[in-house]
Amino acid sequence: MTRHIPIGKPLLGVEEIRSVLKVLESGVLSVPSTSGGPMIQAFEKTLAEYVRCKHAIAVNSGTSALSVSLMALGVKAGDEVIVPSFTYGATANTVLLLGAKPLFIDIDPKTYNMDPDLIEAKITGRTKAIVPVHLFGLCADMDLINEIAAIHGLHVIEDAAQALGSEYKGKKAGNLGDVGCFSFYPGKVMTTGEGGAITTNNDELALRMRMIRNHGQEKAYEFAVLGSNYRMPEMEAAIGVEQLKKLPSFLEARRNNARRLGETLQFVSSLTLPFENELFKHNWYLYTIKLDASIDRDTVVQKLNADGIEARVYYSAPVHTTPLYRRLGFATEHLPFTMEASKSIFSLPVHPGVSPQDVDFMTGAVKKILG
């Protein structure tokens, strides 16, 4: 039988099924109030405890988490927000949707996250926020980012869509800026089907975000701020409650798979393996490696795919080079390390559904292809 190792795979069990059935039997599928329904409240409480912050606000996607955060922090038309281009389009799209302008910044070639040393040169009188993305599950260099933000009076929104469980200097992703934004899409380290969440220690911000996700209502039919329907359904929260219980074991399995990959691939001279040191704890959302410039990345990925390994290229077209942003005049941005990474890196699966035998099969295939 042909082996197939998918890049991502949600792990759902009888616990999630029972939890969803309870919601269906209750008939309470969604609660249009500031506090949300019983499952939303349970999910938010557990998530806030896990991230070690005061508040978690559940929403219907990671993109909604970014949008609600920007709105709550007062980003509006004419403002500017510093973002990386080496990320998924939602990071910049949510800025554009508010009529604000994304200011694209290059990455550190070692971490693939925004380079803090380049931030101050981008700041103008219209800049309101910085959105570091914790890409592939590795936190950005948040101390320096927060220091720059404090000097210039800017907000910091962590795009932690890929980083639930990651840590920076002992603190959890999502508890490193003014707010943190998570995604629970099926391919992430845990899932609610779709869904997202925002975390913060700011009481006023948390209340405002709860209102924004529910059409801006402070009480029923009392519209206090501009908002829309960003609510997470009760069934998704029910899945999330059970997935959070399993998250530590999910992360341990990912770490074990990443370690096993690294133990073999470290001897392949044409590869640069993922960065991690004592200050950064990876959640191993993906195992992302870089090929020497002399090797055609796409050919390697095609051969791995042919072997049943769903190696994947992410961000081969950085956001500023995509058709929308070209039309808006962003293609002239000079982001050399972003462009280099877009041509040279690819990711291997390390999710809990990957067995030790799968890992050995992948390392054998990589070594064979690279000679």
In this structure, the strands spanning 179-183 and 280-281 are unpaired
- Nearest Cα neighbor of 170 from 253, 284, 280 is 280
Query: What pLDDT shows up at residue 300?
Result: 98
Query: What pLDDT shows up at residue 3?
Result: 87
Q: What is the mean pLDDT of residues 335-348?
A: 98
Q: 2 pLDDT exceeds 80?
A: no
**In this structure, are residues 104 and 126 in contact, taking their beta carbons and an 8 Å threshold?**
no
**In this structure, are residues 284 and 251 in contact, taking their beta carbons and an 8 Å threshold?**
yes
CA distance 53 to 139: 17
What does the pLDDT look like over 275-291, one tens digit per residue? 999 999 999 999 999 99
User: Could you identify the residue written with the tokens 């599950």?
Assistant: 137
**Which numeric CATH code is attached to 247-369?**
3.90.1150.10
Q: 110 pLDDT exceeds 90?
A: yes
SS3 letters for 330-360?
CCCCCCHHHHHHHHHEEEECCCCCCCHHHHH
> C-alpha distances in angstroms, 288 versus 198, 274, 282, 357?
26, 6, 12, 19
**In this structure, are residues 291 and 345 in contact, taking their beta carbons and an 8 Å threshold?**
yes
Who contacts 269 (Cβ-Cβ below 8 Å, separation ≥6)? none
Q: Domain boundaries in the chain? A: 14-242, 247-369
What does the pLDDT look like over 124-164, one tens digit per residue? 999 999 999 999 999 999 999 999 999 999 999 999 999 99
Query: What pLDDT shows up at residue 1?
Result: 54
**Which numeric CATH code is attached to 14-242?**
3.40.640.10
What does the pLDDT look like over 204-259, one tens digit per residue? 999 999 999 999 999 899 999 999 999 999 999 999 999 999 999 999 999 999 99
Q: 55 pLDDT exceeds 90?
A: yes
pTM above 0.95, yes or no: yes
For the chain, state the CA radius of gyration. 21
Q: 80 pLDDT exceeds 70?
A: yes
What does the pLDDT look like over 247-272, one tens digit per residue? 999 999 999 999 999 999 999 999 99
Q: 371 pLDDT exceeds 70?
A: yes
- Nearest Cα neighbor of 58 from 251, 242, 238 is 238
**pLDDT above 70 covers what percent of the chain?**
100
What does the pLDDT look like over 87-106, one tens digit per residue? 999 999 999 999 999 999 99
Find the helix or strand (DSSP H, E) in which 260 lies. Answer: helix 234-265
Mean per-residue pLDDT of the chain: 97
> Cβ atoms within 10 A of the Cβ of 96, count?
15
Distance of CA 183 to the CA centre of its chain: 6
> Cβ atoms within 10 A of the Cβ of 201, count?
15
Query: What pLDDT shows up at residue 131?
Result: 98
> Cβ atoms within 10 A of the Cβ of 43, count?
29
CA distance 333 to 326: 10
Q: 9 pLDDT exceeds 90?
A: yes
CA distance 241 to 24: 15
Question: Residue 130 phi/psi, 5° resolution?
Answer: -120, 135
Using DSSP, state whether 244 is helix, strand or coil.
helix
CA distance 99 to 144: 28
* Band of pLDDT at residue 6, cut at 50, 70 and 90: very high
